[in-house]
Amino acid sequence: RFTKDTARFKDELDIMKFICKDFWTTVFKKQIDNLRTNHQGIYVLQDNKFRLLTQMSAGKQYLEHAPKYLAFTCGLIRGGLSNLGIKSIVTAEVSTMPACKFQVMIQKM
C-alpha cells in the first residue's frame, strides 16, 4: 500500500533508493545517511545515528551486544524488499555507536 502513489520502479537501484528515503523515513523518522553499491548486487546502507542504538551508545560495553538489536531492522529491510519482488540477504555491522551499516546482498532468481 505504501508504494501505490509512487511511479513504477525501473531497477534495483530505484527500489534501494525508495528503501533509503521513503521507507526509512516512515519507520525511523529520518533518511539513510549513505547508500553505496558495487553495481553487482551488493548495497551498503549507512545510518550515522541509528535510532535504536542511540540509548545504548553512551558506553563501550554495549558494542558487542549491538548487532542483536539490529536483527529486527535487518528483517524489516528484507521484508520490504521481498514485498517489492527482490530476494535478499541483509546483515548488520556496528563499528562505532550509534552508527551502523546494513549490507544488502541481492539474490538473483
CATH at residue 96: 3.30.1380.20
Q: Does this model's pTM top 0.75?
A: yes
> Domain range spanning residue 89?
12-106
Q: Which three cell numbers stand for residue 84?
A: 517489492
Query: How many residues make up the chain in this entry?
Result: 109
Query: Is 4 inside any structural domain?
Result: no
Closest CA to 81 of 56, 59, 102: 102
- 89 is a domain residue: yes
What's the rounded mean pLDDT across residues 21-37? 93
Rounded to the nearest integer, the mean pLDDT of the chain is 87
pLDDT at position 46: 96
Least confident range from 32-36, 40-44, 73-77: namely: 40-44
72 touches 24 (CB < 8 A) = no
Q: How confident is the model at residue 5 (pLDDT cuts 50, 70, 90)?
A: low
Domain count, the chain: 1
The pLDDT value recorded for residue 4 is 65
Contact criterion met (CB below 8 Å) for 40 and 103: no
